[in-house]
Every structure is written in structure tokens, then in C-alpha cells.
Structure 1
């Protein structure tokens, strides 16, 4: 008992020493006395917690308000274009990612509108992004907005990849898209000098520019917000198998406006008109043949890689089955036979290690 009491005494923190003379702020109520000067650390901690919670609350509401403002500004346009402009409304994934889904229109299977906003609710992540921006002067956090039009296959005659990208966004867009590896980067006289054209063949570019895309890119109002527009029959991430589903997309990548989202209404309206003119474009037969051969080559490489992985998996399964059968056989041996086998394995291991040392 005495040992327990001694241990308890050592664990008990020392009493707070309160000096007799205290001339700071003091609150008294009967026998209770509160002197704030003794709790500065606690006050700072509580203050920081309240500041963090207020920051998180304001940050998440700023993001939500930006999405709501976009939806309000584009509801008339999407209602006119789709029979179901907002399936399930706005879906949120946390406080930074928001999605809307529209369907029911000729030439378009669906439109997925995706917001990837800055983590304004997370004080520490915002500080980390600010600090990284000070280290890497090319790093600039943005509010990403993407309109992914999933097209009807018949609405685009031919399989190709084409894009127009602002030169300042060229590196980021190209690094994040496997399908753009099919293309070559060029300039074109009909496209503003601030844009680069990414195309597989000049014939594809000439056909696309017969739509209204050149006039859309020339609109000065889109300058601060435009990143890229692309038409593709390939997935953005390299597929692992040749059986991966194939879709045709028109992807409009933007920087979400901080205010006045209606500034891009003319651009989005023009994209709908562009989609309706895509069925009228024509590619030369030799261009279609080259495009087909390029895709056959990719599928051949994917198939070879898939067969290689299948063989490696089969070999691994064979080794695992052999090891399991050997373990089951050994488990049925007597203790003396198992010990004899272990000794034999030890000698084999020692001989191998000695042989390696001799070779060295």
C-alpha cells in the first residue's frame, strides 16, 4: 500500500504556486477567483481553435457559393439544351469537388460539369500551397472547372484527337492527358497566337477549324478563364487492356470565375453550336487510314503488354501452387524427417553463400 501511495505521489503534478501579490485582471465570485494572466497559453489555444473553425466555415461556404452562382447563371442555357439539365442537382464530394450531370440532347449523350476548387476550408493546406508557390514560381493554385461533353459516336465522323490549349497551360494540360500524346504541337494562322494547336494531322485541324472554334477562341472575354478545348476518342488515362470502353468526348477546361460566371455564357453556347456542326466535317480517306493504323498500333502494344502480364501472373500462380503443394507434403512428414529436411536446406544455403563469396 505504501508503495502504491509513493507512486501516486510521484505522478501527482505539483500544486500551482499563486503569489500573494497580484495586480492584474481578476474576477471573483464568492470563494471562486479567476485570474486570466495565468491562462495565456490556454487562451491562445482556444483562440486559434475558434479561428480555425471560422476559417473552415467561411472557406467551405465560399466554395459552395461559387458553385451555386455558376449553376444559377447557366440554368437557363442548360434547361434550353437538355431535357434533364440537372440530374440529382449538385453533388458534393467534400468541400472542394462538386459535380452536375445533364442529359437528353441530340449529338450529346451527357454533360458532366466538374468543379475542383481550392481547399479554402483547410487553413494548413492553403498555407502549404502558398508556401509551395513561393518555391515554385510557376505553380499557381486555381479553381478548375471542366465541362465534359460525352458525344454520340455518330456525331464525330472519324476517330482522332485534337485540342487547342493556351500556351501558359500547355505543360500542365499535356502532362495530365495520355490521349494528347497522340498529337503534335503546332501553331495555326486561324488560331490566336496565345494558343497552341495539338493535332494528329493537319487535315484534322483544317476540318475542325471549319466549325466556329476559331471565333470562340478569338473572344477576348474568355482570356482569363480559358485553359483548353479538346475532342478525343481516347481515354485521358492510358488503358490497361484493349477491352477498355471507348467514348468520344469534347472537353472544355476552364478556370472558374470568382465572380460574374455569366461572362462565359457565349463560350459555352458556342460549344453547343460547334458540337452540332461536327457531323458535317470530313476527313480525307488517307487521313482516316493513318488514324486507324495509329490506333491499331496502340491496341497491338496494349495487347502485347497484357499478354506479358498474363504470362507473369500465370508463372507466379504456378510457383505459388508448387510452394503450397510442397508445404502440404512437408507437413505430413514426421518430426525427424522435417528436421532432416531443415538441416539439408541450411547446408544448401551455406554452400550458395560460400560460392558467392568465392566468385567475389
Structure 2
């Protein structure tokens, strides 16, 4: 619920907009099968010139003894405060349209709090880009209202392109699941309680930008800080005709089928940090870590206004005016006075102005303002 609180001060009347708090739960997927799949294809391509060709046998044992399946790892809650300017005195169509079009964009940034996520399940004794034990398998994002899921998206590593990991140290994502409804979205992004309507808004589009960022230290002890390893972009236009009877698009990709919604972009796998150590025999050995990383997600919703909505702009402006909180008569009178210069000449002019609406401006108000007048409220 969007709340508006009106505060009346002696010198100013202002509207304070309380922010609507929107929460997004973001998480990652991990897989115990992925390492085995990489190992199998690595063995098949062992004769190729891949930089991983000599790591085939080591990777073959990567997932032994580990049960397969998906595990979700909780990352973070993204919180965004929504705010917008209220054009109270808008009288022109251009001003109305500018206000409405500003409401047609909502954006939120969601980031992990700290780099505590492991890209690999175990350390490596072979090198910084050893895929052995790779467990990162994708990302998901969820928003709920009470017990209702109003937005959900999940993407996993594209299994049809595992060879890309072996040959180029890169992976791609495929969109598996999407639940979304324009009428339950964050649009219009307005301080008023105006619901999304296809009669008023069109061309609803979801955009997601996902960055994978990592920091590591290499073999020669040089620190790489907050390096962007990859970027993924998702654009999903939503038309009313593809929604179910409850106004939702519910999409689930069938196994081995291409996704109906393309995830553009790719990312390098996360480099492991160098971490040499001495064993129980005091022998110094090279070792590389489990690959820390973080995600930065920008979610953006956009739409346009319909021709019919633009045509009825006067009616909509009236609706908005009716939604505004009503100022008290005293507050409205004080607003006029507070905008004037304060000297002997304008004091007389102010008294004249305040006296005009006799049923609004009273002797008590004039006294409160410190303006002198006769008992009948006349000019000094």
C-alpha cells in the first residue's frame, strides 16, 4: 500500500511520500552433476587444442561420491524505495504526459552483500581455471506479495554448450522458468494507488541485466579486484494475449528444448585464487581456491501509454487530483501568505488578500500571523 502523509507547518505545507518497500529474494543454483558433464565432454575433446585437454582425467573424478541434484544457496534481499514527484499544479497536457511517462519506468538494483559464494566445490592443485568441482549452475529471482508469487525467474547453465566451458572457459545461461504479470508488477511507478491497466498501458517489457564479478590473486601475487567476468541480458515483452485468465505468463521450458526467451551474453568461469601451502612433510605445494564471486542484478520494467489513455488525459488528471490529500483551510490560507515578501508595504497587500475569502481567513488567523488590523479585519 502506498502511503501519503500530509504535514502542515506554519511556514510551509508539503506532501511527504512514504516509500513503498519492494523485496526481491535472489539466489543461486548449484549442481553436483555439472562437474561430471564437463568431465565427460572434456574427455571426448581431449584431442582438441583446448587448454583443458591435459585435465581430462583429473576432471573425470570430480563428482564421485557426491549425490546429484539441485541445491539453492540464499544470497540476498534487494530492497528498493519507490518515489516520484507529484505535479500538483499541472494544467497542460504536456505536463501530464511527462508525469505519466515517468511512471512507465521502474528499476531496482540487487547485489550480493559480500563475496562468500564458492564457484567450485573444492580446491584445485592443477591451476586457476581448473573446472574440477564446478558447482555454480545458475541464478533465480523471486518476489512475493504475502503468500502469492508475483514474479519468478530462473536461469541455468546451458547444458547444450558445455563444450564452451572446455574450449573457452566461458558459459552461457538458458531461461528455464518465468512467472510474471504486468498487473502485479511495479508499474505504474506512481505515488498514487493506480493499478496497471491494459486500457491505459501497453508494451510492458521486463529487462534484466546480470553481471558476474570476482576478485582473486594470481600466481605472481597480483590482486585482481572486482573484475567483471560476464554480462547477461534478458528482455521479455509481454502482450495481453499470452496471459492466462489470472493475468499471468507462466512459462516452463521443457527438458532439452530451446528456451522461448533468449538470454544474451556469456561469462568466463571464475578464476581461482593462488594459495600455496606446506604439507605434513614440510613440502611447499601450489594450490588454488574455490573461486569467490558476487552477482549484480538490475531489474527494469517499462511500458508505454495507450492512445486512448492519452486522449483522456483530462479525466485522468482529475482522478489524480481527487487522490491528493486535502489541505485544511487554514493551511491553504497560510500557503498564500508564506509566499509573500514581508515588509510594511506588502503587509497591507497581504491583509487585503487574506480578507477576500472571508469564510476562510479569520481574525484569529491574522492575529496568528502577527498582522495588525482593526476589529473588523480592515486595513491598518
TM-score tier (shorter)? under 0.3
* Greater fraction of residues in strand: 2
Higher relative contact order (CA 8 A, sep 6+): 2
Choose 1 or 2 for highest CA Rg.
Answer: 1
TM-score (norm 1): 0.23
* Greater fraction of residues in helix: 1
